[in-house]
Amino acid sequence: AGSAGSAGSAGFPGSAASPGSTGSPGTPASARIVVVSSAAHLRSPVVFDDLHFDYRPYEPMLAYGQSKTANVLFAVGANARWAGDGIVVNALSPGGIRTNLQRHVGDIAAPGVVWKTPEQGAATSVLLAASPLLEGVGGRYFADCAEAEPVSRRPEDLTAMMVGVAPYALDPEGADRLWATSERLLAAD
């Protein structure tokens, strides 16, 4: 990619082509993985004993919530495994962004919810990916460009705007269980 200040193959200075690189030879680069989840994780923990809704009625929003919790747990587990190698992993909620994704689910938002523009929705992702303020910070959950506050219970009204992070989503034991379950499922024929 060239030395700092020289143009790399993409026309960028050499150090810019290697995110996290200091430009010093022998210095390991750092990397960041940003996992996009959702405040919908507040709807459900991962129910490890019934991942596929075999023993309970299938409810699409609970299934979605469970998948979003799994996203956060993946970030916690990956960070625990890879931070020593200079790879930090965080999860985030981009917030409610009016896109074509909602065309199949109807109006799921509470009255008065303010939708974000795509640029506003991307802000937390960009912060986690690039801010020097978050160098070395991993295994956490962010929303609205800040680390989310833990909540003790989900909102009674599940159509309300949900904010915060459920403790079960950041639980290291849950992250380890998800990791082991994922490895087992991936190894299955």
Per-residue pLDDT of the chain (189 residues; tens, 9 = 90+): 333 333 333 332 333 333 443 444 444 568 999 999 999 999 999 999 999 999 999 999 899 999 999 999 999 999 999 999 999 999 999 998 877 776 665 555 555 667 899 999 999 999 999 999 999 999 999 999 999 999 987 766 655 567 899 999 999 999 999 999 999 999 986
Is 168 designated active site? no
Q: Is residue 27 part of a domain?
A: no
- Segment (H or E) for 172: helix 172-187
Does 6 map to a domain?
Answer: no
User: Does some domain include residue 12?
Assistant: no
Instruction: Kindly report the pTM of this predicted structure.
Output: 0.80
In angstroms, the CA 167 to CA 158 distance is 18
Domain count of the chain? 1
Domain holding 122, by residue range, is 32-187
Q: Which of 55, 64, 141, 168 is catalytic?
A: 64
Q: Say if residues 112 and 101 touch (Cβ distance below 8 Å).
A: no
Q: What pLDDT, on the 0 to 100 scale, is given for residue 32?
A: 98
Residue 131 CB partners (closer than 8 Å, separation 6+): none
For the chain, report the end-to-end CA distance as a whole number of angstroms: 42
Domain membership flag for residue 74: yes
